[in-house]
């Protein structure tokens, strides 16, 4: 295999031959400076070609000083700015990222194995989210705190009242991110945090850390944010949680097992560090009954299109992807045939080939995990579309971390707990029939809380009723009817205006939702004073 240094000097495109990566070790940014780890580093690979790209390492970093500098220097500088001023910095960040978009696309293809359309979901999604919060923040005005509701009188005389206020927490926001969205996963958290006036330390997932690191580097080099406001640590997460203090916050996206470790850490248990978790989610798509054959076909077409898209976008590596598909018993066979027919058209392989519509999983570890999960599900289901027979384009099956989409099915979902419990984080979904709406809703709830469910139908009243029934167990309910077929944003697309998160198994967290996202980074306090004092506030 070509060494990282040789590859960078001979095979890499020009933008990768800059001095900061000629050693093939990506530096970390803390305490206002770029610092490389002192260890050999963990290699990052091209999941299609198997080529080593760069390395990341955090060995030897002074973590206590990194957190202190961010908390004290970065936090003080951010809080000195108004919401409108911080929003302007978000807008400036958008311009820098847009100017370097081509670089990010090349890194995404090389390190994540994604086709251009999937790269857009990640990169453009992150930039769009930043832009959204820039606009929202501008509307908050030139103030340093927010009022929460109206003042409330505390007695018969209205002179003495209580006013709730929101002020930025005087801590640091630690982000421990997942591998599937190295761009969007960074900015959907950083945008509301920075707008709130809270400095961030980003720990990207190692396998795809390159894109996150490069984006942070471009923004840091542009000199947009005050020193200490934006920091990144690549490599091991060892010791990060130990640095957290009572007014810090931590946001994690990943497995339920790791989430449990975070929740049990002394920083959380003893120091009451605020935690936001987004974990496993067995999301559902539900086809509602329709009154006529024409309406039935229209709704079925919408479901088939969305299910196949969700199975194949980013090779199914989305926390919001559809994992369970529920249809009326009479439509089970037709739904299976229609979904399988669309999946059969999906070309899989090297994302550099324009004919490829689905690229690779991000790593050999992820490929093995998907294969193991799929093997388990196959024991309890029928294979309705077998992706293993799909040939790869421009990719060696022995090297590439590619796996074609597979549709499974079970006619007995009531007595098949595995299909409700096991999430395969790849291009896999399971079809199942239901008898009536109470049965369908009960099956969906066996997911124990999910990020999103999508509904397909033509009866507005029925769709509305089902959405409300599922709202308590889902962070988001996405309703697709023929009138919005060309307008809806997609089952799995997380829009910054809507809530992202979910109860129960999904982690119990909340992100985005417009200005609601700022609540996580603020502290609410009640100020009890005379009306004259409150008027000044």
What residues act catalytically? 278, 319
Bridge partners of residue 431, in order along the sequence: 325, 409
The DSSP letter of residue 532 is: H
What burial letters (b/e) apply to 457-472, b meaning 16+ CB within 10 Å?
bbbeebbeebbebbee
The pair of structure tokens assigned to 171 is 């801590």
| Crossing angle (nearest 10°) for helices 209-221 and 116-138 | 40
Bridge partners of residue 28, in order along the sequence: 35
Instruction: With beta carbons less than 8 A apart as the criterion, state whether 243 and 63 touch.
Output: yes
The DSSP letter of residue 391 is: P
Please choose, from the candidates 489, 506, 476, 523, the residue with its C-alpha nearest in 3D space to the C-alpha of residue 132: 489
Positive or negative torsion for Cα 218, 219, 224, 225 = negative
DSSP helix/strand/coil, 216: helix
Distance CA 319, CA 492 (A): 8
DSSP helix/strand/coil, 62: coil
In 96-242, where do the E strands start and end? 146-153, 160-168, 173-176, 200-203, 230-232
The pair of structure tokens assigned to 201 is 């330390």
Instruction: With beta carbons less than 8 A apart as the criterion, state whether 294 and 478 touch.
Output: no
Bridge partners of residue 232, in order along the sequence: 29, 202
Instruction: With beta carbons less than 8 A apart as the criterion, state whether 120 and 183 touch.
Output: no
Positive or negative torsion for Cα 456, 462, 467, 469 = negative
Distance CA 499, CA 510 (A): 7
Please choose, from the candidates 342, 339, 226, 309, the residue with its C-alpha nearest in 3D space to the C-alpha of residue 478: 309
Instruction: With beta carbons less than 8 A apart as the criterion, state whether 494 and 129 touch.
Output: no
Instruction: With beta carbons less than 8 A apart as the criterion, state whether 200 and 230 touch.
Output: yes
Please choose, from the candidates 454, 461, 440, the residue with its C-alpha nearest in 3D space to the C-alpha of residue 485: 454
Tell me the CA distances in angstroms from 5 to 9, 36, 179, one per residue in order: 6, 16, 24
The DSSP letter of residue 39 is: S
**Beta-sheet pairing, 322-328 with 348-349:** unpaired
Instruction: With beta carbons less than 8 A apart as the criterion, state whether 513 and 291 touch.
Output: no
Backbone angles phi, psi at 45, to 5 degrees: -120, 155
The pair of structure tokens assigned to 129 is 């989210």
Distance CA 16, CA 433 (A): 51
């Amino acid at each position: 295999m070509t060494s990282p240094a040789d590859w960078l000097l001979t095979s890499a495109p020009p933008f990768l031959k800059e001095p900061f990566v000629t050693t093939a070790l990506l530096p970390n940014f803390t305490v206002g400076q770029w610092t490389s780890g002192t260890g050999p580093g963990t290699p990052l690979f091209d999941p299609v070609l198997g080529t080593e790209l760069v390395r990341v390492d955090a060995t030897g970093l002074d973590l206590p000083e990194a957190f202190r500098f961010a908390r004290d220097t970065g936090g003080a500088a951010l809080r000195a700015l108004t919401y409108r001023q911080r929003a302007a910095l978000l807008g400036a960040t958008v311009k820098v990222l847009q100017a370097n978009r081509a670089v990010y696309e090349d890194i995404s293809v090389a390190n994540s194995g994604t086709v251009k359309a999937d790269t857009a979901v990640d990169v453009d999604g992150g930039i769009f989210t930043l832009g959204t919060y820039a606009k929202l923040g501008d509307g908050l005005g030139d103030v340093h705190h927010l009022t929460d509701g109206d003042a409330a009188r505390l007695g018969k005389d209205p002179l003495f009242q209580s006013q709730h206020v929101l002020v930025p927490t005087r801590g640091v926001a630690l982000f421990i991110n997942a591998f599937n969205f190295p761009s969007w996963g960074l900015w959907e958290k950083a945008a509301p945090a920075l707008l709130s006036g809270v400095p961030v330390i980003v720990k990207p997932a190692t396998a795809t850390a390159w894109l996150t690191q490069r984006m942070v580097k471009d923004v840091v080099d542009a000199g947009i944010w005050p020193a200490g406001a934006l920091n990144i640590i690549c490599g091991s997460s060892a010791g990060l949680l130990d640095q957290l203090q009572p007014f810090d916050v931590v946001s994690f996206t990943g497995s339920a097992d790791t989430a449990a470790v975070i929740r049990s850490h002394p920083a959380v248990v003893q120091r009451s560090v605020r935690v936001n978790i987004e974990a496993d989610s067995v999301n559902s798509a539900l086809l509602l009954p329709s009154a006529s054959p024409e309406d039935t076909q229209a709704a079925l077409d919408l479901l088939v299109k969305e299910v196949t898209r969700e199975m194949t976008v980013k090779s199914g590596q989305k926390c919001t992807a559809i994992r369970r598909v529920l249809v009326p018993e009479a439509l089970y066979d037709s739904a299976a045939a229609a979904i399988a027919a669309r999946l059969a058209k999906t070309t899989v392989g090297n994302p550099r080939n324009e004919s490829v519509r689905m690229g690779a999983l991000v790593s050999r570890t992820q490929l093995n995990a998907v294969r193991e999960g799929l093997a388990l599900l196959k024991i309890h289901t029928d294979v309705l579309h077998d992706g293993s027979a799909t040939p790869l384009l421009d990719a060696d099956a022995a090297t590439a971390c590619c796996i074609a989409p597979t549709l499974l099915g079970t006619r007995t979902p009531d007595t098949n707990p595995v299909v409700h419990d096991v999430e395969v984080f790849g291009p896999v979904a399971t079809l199942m029939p239901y008898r009536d709406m109470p049965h369908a809703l009960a099956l969906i709830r066996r997911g124990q809380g999910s990020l999103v469910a999508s509904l397909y139908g033509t009866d507005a009243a029925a769709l509305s009723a089902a959405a409300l029934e599922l709202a308590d167990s889902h962070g988001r309910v996405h309703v697709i009817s023929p009138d919005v077929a060309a307008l809806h944003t997609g089952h799995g697309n997380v829009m910054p205006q809507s809530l992202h998160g979910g109860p129960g198994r999904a982690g119990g967290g909340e992100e985005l939702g417009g200005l609601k996202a700022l609540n996580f980074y603020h502290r609410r306090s009640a100020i009890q004073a005379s009306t004259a004092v409150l008027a000044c506030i």
